[in-house]
Amino acid sequence: MERPDWAPKNVDIDKASAARLYDFFLGGSYNFEVDRELGRKLAAAAPGVYEFTRLNRSFLRRAVRHLCRQGIDQFLDIGSGIPTAGNVHEIAQRANPDAKVVYVDNEPVAVAHSELLLENNPNAVAFEADLRDPDSILGHEKTRKMLDFSRPIGLLSVAVYHFIPEADDPLALAARYRAALPGGSFLALSHVTEDSMGDQVRQLVDLMRASQNPVTPRTKAHFTAMFDGFDLVEPGVVFTPQWHPESPEDVDDRPQDSAVYAAVGRKP
């Protein structure tokens, strides 16, 4: 396909990416036909995918607000995706104008548009890196300039770890980030599972093999293990709509249909 003028030179426009698919499902415009084509196939095979995405984004917003109420005023968002309404810096800086946010993603489109969005915001930055390379993220000059690692940090990796295959040892990665966080920091994660909606999730997994970001669903036990060394915030590991819903209407009688686990933990 022809490369749009706004597309970064290093972006792969021949294979769908998770960040651009997420943008497509949320109604964004920073995606390509290859993303939309796969997105339509995913929606046909797993009609709940739009709701999966919306509920996951809602969890992110609630988690950030919760962390702000706990006094967190600096955030590291790894796998931040393409900017959409309700970004972390918008939520955090509404609560505290001095809150600082570092966005990290390995998708060039996500980073390019984050940089445009943040060019007049001195307390938020974005750069391109991969979750699987903790040193490049934790040691990056933008991270070190923006965040004070002697004070608690809110680490967000929402809907990211299911793109990490077992060969890359996600539990070891989670432990590496945990070790870098000071006491009093928080970790917010969400993750696709086959524990519910198994047929739809398996179809989603099959289709995502054709993308840049194949999916590895995990069980509740495996997801919970990513919080080793953290104290889980109530209500613990639950499906996305069950984590601190803002009203009873936010949780229907089948929250498991979200097919995504969510949790927040605090490092003692």
Are the beta carbons of 197 and 256 closer than 8 angstroms?
Answer: yes
The pLDDT of residue 68 = 98
Q: Which SS3 state, helix, strand or coil, does residue 238 take?
A: strand
C-alpha–C-alpha distance, residues 109 and 8, integer Å = 6
- Residue 5, pLDDT > 80, answer no
The pLDDT of residue 7 = 61
Least confident span in 85-89, 99-103, 105-109, 236-240: 85-89
- Residue 106, pLDDT > 80, answer yes
User: pLDDT band at residue 11, thresholds of 50, 70 and 90?
Assistant: confident
Q: CATH assignment of 18-245+255-266?
A: 3.40.50.150
Domain boundaries, the chain: 18-245+255-266
User: pLDDT band at residue 258, thresholds of 50, 70 and 90?
Assistant: very high
User: pLDDT band at residue 1, thresholds of 50, 70 and 90?
Assistant: low
The pLDDT of residue 226 = 98
Q: What is the pTM of this model?
A: 0.93
User: pLDDT band at residue 208, thresholds of 50, 70 and 90?
Assistant: very high
The pLDDT of residue 9 = 64
Least confident span in 8-22, 45-59, 127-141, 228-242: 8-22
For residue 235, cis peptide bond before it (omega within 30 degrees of 0) = yes
- Residue 14, pLDDT > 90, answer no
The pLDDT of residue 248 = 76
Q: How far apart are the first and last CA of the chain?
A: 50
- Work out the percent of the chain whose per-residue pLDDT is above 70: 96
Instruction: Check residue 182 and report its DSSP letter.
Output: P
The pLDDT of residue 66 = 98
Residue 12 sits at φ, ψ, to 5 deg, of: -85, 110
User: pLDDT band at residue 6, thresholds of 50, 70 and 90?
Assistant: low
> What is the average pLDDT value for the chain, to the nearest integer?
93
The pLDDT of residue 3 = 58
The pLDDT of residue 250 = 76
- Residue 83, pLDDT > 90, answer no
CB burial of residue 235 (10 Å; 0-12, 13-18, 19+): exposed
Overall average pLDDT of the 50-74 stretch: 95
